[in-house]
Amino acid sequence: MNIQSSIGRTPLIELRSFDVPADVRIFAKAEFMNPGGSIKDRIVRYIIGDAERRGLLGPGATIVENTSGNTGAAIAMLAAARGYRAILTMPDKVSKEKQDALRAMGAEVVVCPASAPPGSPQHYVTRARSIHAGTPGSFMLDQYDNPLNAEAHFRSTGPEIWDALGPSVTAFVASGSTGGTISGTSRFLKSKNPSVTSVLLDPAGSIYHRYFHDGVVDPAQIAPYFVEGAGEDHLAQCMDFSVVDDVIRFTDADAFATCRHLAQREGLLCGGTSGANVWGAVQVARSLKQPATVVTVLPDSGNKYISKIYNPDWLARNGFGTGEIRTLEPTL
């Protein structure tokens, strides 16, 4: 068995500590149990495998990608295992734990200012494209615009959820940055049962919520936020809004309070997007008629964020309390 053969087939964990109607169940897929520590292992294995089959990635080649950390970790892991070089660009808000883990596996990390506007030379996406263009024989996964991103989830995440829960699935809820998870998983679940509801969660400061509801990308709404791996300042071509039924906005405080709840009440130490996803799943669960089953994903572990969202001093410096989860009026 090699490292890539252990990607996927992660367990579904029922969450029982949240205040939802008695016959509404919430399940979360433990994607932090992938060998690279996140859900991004799935897409990296799928895209690299496709590139090798098509001759786009030769022995000893360089893989270049922009990442908020988890895709980079999967690339670094598989690059090390397959003899590739990895160059990864990321915004400077990415936790030090993530950056250090990539370097430990031999990747070159290029840190870019999170404040750089889309299209500027210092934006982490633009920087990756520039490095790719200047590195002969290199390969770029292009996770934001590559349809294989969503296809990986259509062929793995969605089927695994359906195999485990079948027609009981009522709704799938997930945050999105590239859009691969929400698009591919929702498309598969809807192919099995068109009545499955798909809900995208978008952080305040991202563009997807306004775009979905009003068809507008408003640069004035782009603002900094702390959650890593969710939301975006540009439209990713991988995001397929045709399979999304609603978009709910969350805040950093919503996500981080739910992370603490998961750690202290469920024994699950998870990252910020996991907190956001479960917070959203709770809101959806409260709006559904019973019986119902809401499914979400836990994209990565909280071990990567100990210095931030589990650090009382960091929370205090950035104005986050330790209160209960804030409710949201149902929108479904």
What is the pLDDT, as a whole number, of residue 94? 86
Q: For domain 40-140, give its CATH number from 1.10.260.40, 1.20.1560.10, 3.30.1490.100, 3.40.50.1100.
A: 3.40.50.1100
Q: Is the pLDDT of residue 158 over 70?
A: yes
Active-site residues, by number, are 40
Mean pLDDT of the 22-35 span = 97
What is the pLDDT, as a whole number, of residue 245? 98
Mean pLDDT of the 42-68 span = 96
Read off φ and ψ for residue 199, nearest 5 degrees: -125, 120
Q: Is the pLDDT of residue 325 over 90?
A: no
pLDDT band at 96 (very low <50, low <70, confident <90, very high): confident
The per-residue pLDDT for range 107-137, each reduced to its tens digit, is: 999 999 989 998 999 999 999 999 999 999 9
Q: Is the pLDDT of residue 181 over 70?
A: yes
Q: Is the pLDDT of residue 326 over 90?
A: no
Domain boundaries, the chain: 3-33+152-317, 40-140
Would you say domain 3-33+152-317 falls under CATH 3.40.50.1100? yes
Number of C-beta neighbours around residue 153 at 10 A? 28
The per-residue pLDDT for range 186-227, each reduced to its tens digit, is: 999 999 999 999 999 999 999 999 999 999 999 999 999 999
Same fold, 3-33+152-317 and 40-140: yes
Number of C-beta neighbours around residue 15 at 10 A? 22
CA–CA dist 43, 111 (Å, integer):
22
On average, the pLDDT of the chain sits at 94
291 upstream amide cis, omega within 30 of 0: yes
What is the pLDDT, as a whole number, of residue 29? 98
Query: Which of residues 228 and 331 earns the better pLDDT score?
Result: 228
Which burial class, exposed, middle or buried, applies to 247 when counting CB atoms under 10 A from its CB (0-12, 13-18, 19+)? Answer: buried
- What is the side-by-side strand order in the sheet with 108-112? 108-112, 85-91, 62-66, 139-140
C-beta of residue 71 within 8 angstroms of C-beta of residue 50: no
Q: Which range (31-40, 201-210, 299-308) has the least confidence?
A: 299-308
What is the pLDDT, as a whole number, of residue 86? 98
pLDDT band at 328 (very low <50, low <70, confident <90, very high): very low
